[in-house]
Amino acid sequence: MKKAVVCLSVLVFLCFGFSAHAAAKTTKVEVLYMNHGPLEETVDQIKGVLSKYGDKLAVSWYDFDTSEGEQFMVKKGIKQHVPLVIWIDDSPAVTVGGKKVEFVGFPTGSGPTFFQGKWTMDDLKAAIDQSALKK
């Protein structure tokens, strides 16, 4: 009898443990970028940020100038010339610390002024932290 209770307890524990693990979802991050010199430093910084999250993120990269990138742009409705867009869980805009941040263009202070967005690497970290903590 004791053996049956122990076995049943272990079985219940394993089932709940596996279902809780299966329920935990990863944060989806999709990056559309232009593989050009001016953006290389920013792409490296983004990769550095994303690499710290390990398997908590499912990251996909799409080069603007490839057929895969073109198909992705059609899927996302991107029709203009844009050097960089980052989607976090299907949205390029995330409310972080009470402000709406759009991950479009170069980060503030880098790259050509015309293509600078209004976001920083700290905004990106905060948005990913926020999304990963929800799951």
- Residue 17: which pLDDT band, with cuts at 50, 70 and 90? very low
Mean pLDDT calculated for residue range 111-116: 83
Inter-residue contact 64 to 32 (CB < 8 Å): yes
- Residue 25: what pLDDT? 85
Q: Residue 107 carries which side chain, given as an amino acid letter? A: P
The DSSP code sequence of 66-88 is SHHHHHHHHHHT--S--SEEEEE
Does the pTM surpass 0.85? The reply is no
Q: What number does CATH give the domain 25-134? A: 3.40.30.10
- Residue 7: which pLDDT band, with cuts at 50, 70 and 90? very low
- Residue 110: what pLDDT? 87
Q: What is the pLDDT of residues 58-109, one digit of tens each?
A: 999 999 999 999 999 999 999 988 899 999 999 999 999 899 999 999 999 8
- Residue 3: which pLDDT band, with cuts at 50, 70 and 90? very low
Q: What is the pLDDT of residues 40-56, one digit of tens each?
A: 999 999 999 999 999 99
- Better-predicted residue by pLDDT, 96 or 114: 96
Where along the chain do its domains lie?
25-134
- Residue 132: what pLDDT? 82
Positions of E strands within the chain: 27-33, 57-63, 84-88, 93-96, 99-102
**What residues pair up with 84 in beta bridges, in sequence order?**
33
- Residue 135: which pLDDT band, with cuts at 50, 70 and 90? low
